A = this chain, B = another copy of it.
Amino acid sequence: MFKKLFLLTVAALMTATVVYAQDVFSSQRERWARIAAESMPRLDTTEVFPVSVVEAVADTAAFQGWRYEAVPGLDTLSEANFRSMRTITLDFGRHVTGYLHFSLKTLGDVMDCPVRLKFTCGEVPAELNVPFDPWKGSLSRAWMQDETFTTHTADRDLCLPRRMAFRYLKVELLGGNFDFALDSLRCLATTSAGEIKTALNADCPQIIKDINRVSLATLAECMQTVYEDGPKRDRRLWIGDLYLEALAGRYSFQNHLLTKRCLYLFASLTDDNGRLLADLYEKPEPHPQWGTYCFTYSLLYASVLLEYLNDTGDIDTARDLWPVVEVQIADAISRVRDDGTLNGSRAWLFFDHAVMDTEVPFQGAVLFALSQSCELAERIGYADRVQSWRKLMPKIRKGARKRYYDSRSHLMLSAGDSPASVHAQVWAVIGGILSPKEGRLAIEAALARPDAVQMGSPYAMHYLLEAMIRCGMWQQARDTMVDYWGGMVARGADTFWEVYEPGNDLRSPYSFHPLNSYCHAWSCTPTYFIYKYPEVFQK
């Protein structure tokens, strides 16, 4: 997820009607935390060695203006005198997340002084070729993966203490007046993903194979002891990313234990009113970002739990965590106005990096959550608890249509500064406000309309695909996937990016493109669609 948080929600939600008394889950939290801990996945470690020495080439045709060319030198690296070489860049051939290990092999003489090395890791070439300082990024300079390391010990396995996420590594000698070689340089790469349990059809087109491969690499790299949003940045668990990762995992790694762990972590870290926080951190002890409520994410919790139940049949877990769903829905219901629409004011409603009115998408998001929660309740024998929710849905749909649907333009429009957006149509479809036929017209109209806000992130693009599929826009969905994710593949992506704007390689929400995450979970869902709809995507 991203970092400029709109913490408007605290005050709003503090006053929202809640169905439970103070600290509703006090009797559950400890047990939930224990289940989360017991569901810790095994981290597999693989030794990944560089595949080539490379040299940077400035090339306006390359992604962000830089590419690497392989040059000789890898075979002789462990014998070459790094004292005279002084700098080298290595390509590991794939994105890796893990710990850099190496040793300094003394050549001839002993190590009679410490060695000071600078390591710079990059997911994409630009990270090693654009100066970081003076710093102009809007997030912490510390996110950049450059580390200075001093050692007094050669001929022994050494390790950078910081976990890195990268494909390219630059090593520079800053000090050390004796002859040595860089030896056994490798990454102990970690993931909890496990084996891929599925395979594409043999005659699947190459571009789809490529998109699927990059999707799975992205997902596997983000699967650590939680589903991280990005192993370089932010390295944490968000509900929104969790949902998409759980979907993508269904047809590949099927590590449902990790999903269970994440569901329980969020449940154990709800606030006193039982509300979910948007993201959480594992160390030193699991803790959320207190005060950071993202209502659209809280609403997705029910969907994660439903998908988990569908994947595992684990009714016990679904029942155990049902009360968490109930609290989030109750919060939403407290926002229903007399006319049936929902009041989304003073809440952080995240749908995209793009700036837009969130009013209409919010209607759809709540309806989707209601629908998913009702389905979940029925699956676990709690249908009687959601009867009032079932009844509420038509009222909201009707109210939203009346207030926002403009039959002349075929669009859902809001009253704000940017009344038209693709997002509004997408979420109206997902929420069942528009019929498939209406949705198709609406999506096509919004996509064609110059003043409509367009999708601004892979996260938003996932929901566009979902909505297109719901409207039977099969060819458009396929074209969108090939254009957008295939565009990243064509630009050299090993893993899918946090940010991708076709035609604008340097786009960054953080004022500095090397600060973007280039392996970002919310980009990994093509594999979900490819496997779920093989007749569309694998043909």
A176 to B150, CA, bound (A): 22
Residue interface bits A329-342, CB-to-B below 8 A is 1, else 0: 00000000000000
Identify A283's interface contact among B142, B153, B176, CB under 8 A. Answer: B153
Asked if residues B116 and A140 are in contact (CB atoms below 8 Å), the reply is: yes
Identify A284's interface contact among B142, B153, B163, CB under 8 A. Answer: B153
Asked if residues B3 and A140 are in contact (CB atoms below 8 Å), the reply is: no
Q: Which of A241-300 contact B (CB under 8 A)?
A: 281, 283-284, 287-291
Identify A148's interface contact among B148, B235, B291, CB under 8 A. Answer: B148
Asked if residues B109 and A152 are in contact (CB atoms below 8 Å), the reply is: no
- Complex contacts, A290 vs chain B, CB 8 Å: 109-110
Closest-CB distance, A222 to chain B (whole angstroms): 16
Which residue from chain B places its CB closest to the CB of A112 in the assembled complex? B289
Which residue from chain B places its CB closest to the CB of A138 in the assembled complex? B177
A197 interface residue per 8 A CB criterion: no
Asked if residues B141 and A175 are in contact (CB atoms below 8 Å), the reply is: yes
Asked if residues A140 and B284 are in contact (CB atoms below 8 Å), the reply is: no
Given A147-B150, A283-B156: A142 touches B176 (CB 8 Å cut-off): yes
Asked if residues A142 and B113 are in contact (CB atoms below 8 Å), the reply is: yes
Identify A114's interface contact among B116, B140, B284, CB under 8 A. Answer: B140
Residue of A110, A161, A162, A177 with highest tally of chain B CB at under 10 A = A110
Q: Which of A52-69 contact B (CB under 8 A)?
A: none
A143 interface residue per 8 A CB criterion: yes
- Complex contacts, A114 vs chain B, CB 8 Å: 140, 142-143
Count identical subunits in the complex. Answer: 2
A289 to B112, CA, bound (A): 8
Residue of A3, A161, A289 with highest tally of chain B CB at under 10 A = A161
A501 interface residue per 8 A CB criterion: no
Residue of A142, A152, A178, A288 with highest tally of chain B CB at under 10 A = A142
A74 interface residue per 8 A CB criterion: no
A284 to B235, CA, bound (A): 34
Which residue from chain B places its CB closest to the CB of A159 in the assembled complex? B161
- Complex contacts, A156 vs chain B, CB 8 Å: 283-284
- Complex contacts, A115 vs chain B, CB 8 Å: 140, 142
Given A147-B148, A284-B156: A291 touches B109 (CB 8 Å cut-off): yes
Which residue from chain B places its CB closest to the CB of A137 in the assembled complex? B175
Asked if residues B116 and A142 are in contact (CB atoms below 8 Å), the reply is: yes
A281 to B151, CA, bound (A): 14
A142 to B288, CA, bound (A): 40
A177 to B515, CA, bound (A): 14
- Complex contacts, A150 vs chain B, CB 8 Å: 142, 147, 162
Closest-CB distance, A13 to chain B (whole angstroms): 17
Closest-CB distance, A323 to chain B (whole angstroms): 25
Closest-CB distance, A122 to chain B (whole angstroms): 15
Given A148-B147, A162-B150: A140 touches B176 (CB 8 Å cut-off): yes
- Complex contacts, A289 vs chain B, CB 8 Å: 109-110, 112
Residue interface bits A195-226, CB-to-B below 8 A is 1, else 0: 00000000000000000000000000000000
Identify A152's interface contact among B112, B116, B144, B283, CB under 8 A. Answer: B283
Q: Which of A116-159 contact B (CB under 8 A)?
A: 116, 135, 139-144, 147-148, 150-156
Asked if residues B116 and A141 are in contact (CB atoms below 8 Å), the reply is: yes
A234 interface residue per 8 A CB criterion: yes
- Complex contacts, A139 vs chain B, CB 8 Å: 113, 177
Closest-CB distance, A178 to chain B (whole angstroms): 8
Asked if residues B235 and A110 are in contact (CB atoms below 8 Å), the reply is: no
A321 interface residue per 8 A CB criterion: no
A10 interface residue per 8 A CB criterion: no
Given A148-B148, A161-B161: A142 touches B111 (CB 8 Å cut-off): no
Residue interface bits A164-181, CB-to-B below 8 A is 1, else 0: 000000000011111000
A125 to B485, CA, bound (A): 56
Closest-CB distance, A349 to chain B (whole angstroms): 20
A290 to B281, CA, bound (A): 50
Given A135-B175, A148-B148, A235-B152: A281 touches B111 (CB 8 Å cut-off): yes
Residue of A111, A156, A178 with highest tally of chain B CB at under 10 A = A111
Residue interface bits A313-337, CB-to-B below 8 A is 1, else 0: 0000000000000000000000000
- Complex contacts, A178 vs chain B, CB 8 Å: 140
Closest-CB distance, A278 to chain B (whole angstroms): 11
Closest-CB distance, A10 to chain B (whole angstroms): 12
A139 to B113, CA, bound (A): 8
Which residue from chain B places its CB closest to the CB of A135 in the assembled complex? B175
- Complex contacts, A283 vs chain B, CB 8 Å: 152-153, 156
A sample of 8 inter-chain contacts (CB < 8 A) reads A110-B287, A110-B288, A111-B281, A113-B139, A115-B140, A143-B175, A152-B235, A152-B283
| 11 additional contacts (CB under 8 A) given A114-B142, A144-B175, A151-B162 | A3-B112, A109-B290, A110-B289, A113-B139, A116-B142, A147-B148, A147-B150, A150-B162, A152-B235, A152-B283, A156-B284
6 shortest interchain CB distances as A-B pairs: A141-B175, A142-B175, A116-B142, A113-B140, A156-B284, A114-B142
